């Protein structure tokens, strides 16, 4: 390792900006197909789950939507169009006036928001705003969003797992840039990071969504895959790693830089995702679908390479410096020509996963209520305890005194009384007088012997 800064892995994972030939805007038809594949499910969710009457009553007929990890477009506009279309249709069918819609486009601060805003659809029927920052933390005020959408963004980790970036500087995954075909510690580290991120994401959104608000996530996942047997997933990253190693051998880049480069992307198992969701207290799962993976089919090698380049170029330049990507992706194209089977989608065992969650209302309420109730009971008990501390002996003496007064006044009449009720009361007063005297003596003894502090002083005052 040459110096500490070699260990620093860039935190900015944005896509290639602009609208040039290598830009994300020009090379994201795969992600676009994924949005199209989920369109019907997304619109169904909006139609079935959105409670427009409640919204119009509570928020001035304004619906706030966020697309998290929107990149530069145009896919985000298609997703938002799908959502607003469903909102309008539902309103029409209910004879309700269409609400106003405010859309927040979110991505990392270094995302090319200029390209995004320059290409906003001119005839859009919504207001638009940009929200920079990581969706793994809070981005919006509490209870301010009605619908959250995200597509092809949650595979990006908030950061590389610590095990790959600590002082040993990535030696754990030397020679590789991804977790496939790597020691199991590498996979475990990626998986742990993903779980932490996924939970942080849910926690932040739970605060930002209104009760019964909807969250629709479209993600790349694996299903029933054993990485030791199904070695296809990640082959593209393995080929890319071999190109980087070759370039290091030729002296074009530093070997140390190659050893510390890892792609901060993780494709979770559906079952692991669901495990977190099923135990989550804030969201309920409304719908979950593993969609077919036709959207990952690419027409030719050039498209395959361009799509990967648009996604990784900024990350690679941030790590290795500018000026290596042309050479790297030329070498990569040659390798893909040698092994075209890495584009074989069925072998990839890679899937699209669409899940719709709603922000739980009752649980949120109960959680808050049960906390309030617990606090209230604690306060009441503390007050009762406090009063008892001060008044226990005095109270018992006064009670005993009152019973004695009652007996002095009424006991002489007992032989002459016909009323059974009065006889019963006098008899009860006798018993209580006896008990109260014993109880008071017990209290005094207990307090005097129990401790030697403030309790004693109170008894002396009482006496
Ligand atoms: C593959 S693009 C998907 C863009 C768009 N949603 C689509 O479907 O075409 C992933 C986007 O997620 C963004 N992203 C990744 N991690 C993020 C984070 N922690 N916070 C916000 N955006 C993030 C990236 O910058 C990138 O623009």
Chain-wide mean pLDDT for the chain? 86
Ligand 1 contact, 76 CB (< 6 A): yes
| 22-29: average pLDDT | 96
- Measured from the Cα of 14, ligand 1's closest atom is 25
Task: Tell me how far the alpha carbon of residue 69 lies from the centroid of ligand 1, in angstroms.
Answer: 3
Query: Looking at ligand 1, which residue's alpha carbon is closest to its atom 10?
Result: 153
Hey, is 283 helix, strand or coil? strand
Range scoring the smallest mean pLDDT among 187-201, 252-266, 329-343, 404-418: 404-418
Ligand 1 contact, 111 CB (< 6 A): yes
| 299-328: average pLDDT | 95
Q: What is the distance in angstroms between the CA of the first residue and the CA of the last residue of the chain?
A: 81
Q: Is the per-residue pLDDT at 153 higher than 80?
A: yes
pLDDT for 117-143, tens place per residue? 999 999 999 999 999 999 999 999 999
| 184-189: average pLDDT | 92
CB 344 within 8 A of CB 297: no
Determine the angle formed by the axes of helices 362-410 and 420-450, rounding to 10 degrees: 110
Q: Is the per-residue pLDDT at 456 higher than 70?
A: no
Sorted by sequence, the CB contacts under 8 Å of residue 403 that are 6+ apart come out as: 429, 432, 433, 436
Ligand 1 contact, 169 CB (< 6 A): no
pLDDT for 220-275, tens place per residue? 998 877 766 666 778 899 999 999 999 999 999 999 899 989 999 999 999 999 99
For 256, counting Cβ atoms within 10 Å of its Cβ (0-12 exposed, 13-18 middle, 19+ buried), the class is middle
Task: Tell me how far the alpha carbon of residue 323 lies from the centroid of ligand 1, in angstroms.
Answer: 24
CB 191 within 8 A of CB 272: yes
- Measured from the Cα of 72, ligand 1's closest atom is 27
Predicted local distance difference test score (pLDDT) of residue 370: 63
- Measured from the Cα of 134, ligand 1's closest atom is 20
CA-CA distance, 256 to 2, in Å (whole number)?
Answer: 8
Query: Looking at ligand 1, which residue's alpha carbon is closest to its atom 5?
Result: 70
Task: Tell me how far the alpha carbon of residue 146 lies from the centroid of ligand 1, in angstroms.
Answer: 20
Q: Is the pTM of this model over 0.75?
A: yes
Top-confidence residue, 57 or 312: 312
Ligand 1 contact, 30 CB (< 6 A): no
Predicted local distance difference test score (pLDDT) of residue 231: 65
Site to substitute for ligand 1 among 69, 76, 160, most atoms within 8 A of C-beta = 69
**CA distances, 75 to each of 105, 171, 373 (Å):** 12, 37, 47
Hey, is 175 helix, strand or coil? coil
Q: Is the per-residue pLDDT at 210 higher than 50?
A: yes
Residue % of the chain over a pLDDT of 90: 57
Backbone dihedral region of 286: left (phi > 0), alpha (psi from -120 to 50 degrees) or beta? alpha
Task: Tell me how far the alpha carbon of residue 15 lies from the centroid of ligand 1, in angstroms.
Answer: 8
CB 79 within 8 A of CB 91: no
- How many CA atoms does the CB half-sphere of 252 hold within 13 Å? 14
Ligand 1 contact, 27 CB (< 6 A): no
Top-confidence residue, 462 or 145: 145
CA-CA distance, 162 to 88, in Å (whole number)?
Answer: 46
Range scoring the smallest mean pLDDT among 33-42, 277-286, 323-332, 341-350: 341-350
Task: Tell me how far the alpha carbon of residue 331 lies from the centroid of ligand 1, in angstroms.
Answer: 27
């Amino acid at each position: 390792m040459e110096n500490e800064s070699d260990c620093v892995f860039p935190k900015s994972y944005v896509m290639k900006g602009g609208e040039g030939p290598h830009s994300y805007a020009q090379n994201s038809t795969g992600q676009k197909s994924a949005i199209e594949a989920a369109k019907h499910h997304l619109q169904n969710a909006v139609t079935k789950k959105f409670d427009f009457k409640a919204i119009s009553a509570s928020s001035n007929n304004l619906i706030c939507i966020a697309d998290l990890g929107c990149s530069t477009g145009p896919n985000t506009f298609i997703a938002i169009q799908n959502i607003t279309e469903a909102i309008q249709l539902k309103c029409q069918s209910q004879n309700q006036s269409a609400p106003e819609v405010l859309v927040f486009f979110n991505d990392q601060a270094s995302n090319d928001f200029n390209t995004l805003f320059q290409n906003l659809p001119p005839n859009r029927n919504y207001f638009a705003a940009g929200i920079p920052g990581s969706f793994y933390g809070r981005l919006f005020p509490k209870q301010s969003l009605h619908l959250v959408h995200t597509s092809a963004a949650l595979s990006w980790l908030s950061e590389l797992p610590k095990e790959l970036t600590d002082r040993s500087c990535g030696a754990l995954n030397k020679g590789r840039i991804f977790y496939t075909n790597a020691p199991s510690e590498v996979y475990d580290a990626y998986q742990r990071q993903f779980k932490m991120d996924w939970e942080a994401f849910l926690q932040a959104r739970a605060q930002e969504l209104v009760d019964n608000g909807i969250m629709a996530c479209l993600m790349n996942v694996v299903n029933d895959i054993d990485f030791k047997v199904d070695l296809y997933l990640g082959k593209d990253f393995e080929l890319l790693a071999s190109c980087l190693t070759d370039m290091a051998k030729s002296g074009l880049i530093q070997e140390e830089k190659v050893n510390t480069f890892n792609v901060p992307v993780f494709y979770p198992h559906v079952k692991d995702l669901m495990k977190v969701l099923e135990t989550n207290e804030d969201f309920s799962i409304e719908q979950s679908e593993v969609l077919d993976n036709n959207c990952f089919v690419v027409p030719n090698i050039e498209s395959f390479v361009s799509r990967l380049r648009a996604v990784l170029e900024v990350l690679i330049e941030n790590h290795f410096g500018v000026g290596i990507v042309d050479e790297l992706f030329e070498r990569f194209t040659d390798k893909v020509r040698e092994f075209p089977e890495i584009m074989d989608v069925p072998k990839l065992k890679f899937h699209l996963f669409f899940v719709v969650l709603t922000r739980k209302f009752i649980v949120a309420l109960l959680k808050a209520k049960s906390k309030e109730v617990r606090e209230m009971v604690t306060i009441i008990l503390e007050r009762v305890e406090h009063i008892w501390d001060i008044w226990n002996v005095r109270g018992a003496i006064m009670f005993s005194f009152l019973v004695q007064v009652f007996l002095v006044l009424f006991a002489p009449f007992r032989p002459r009384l016909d009323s059974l009720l009065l006889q019963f009361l006098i008899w009860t007063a006798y018993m209580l007088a006896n008990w109260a005297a014993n109880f008071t003596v017990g209290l005094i003894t207990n307090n005097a012997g129990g401790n030697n502090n403030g309790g004693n002083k109170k008894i002396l005052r009482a006496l």
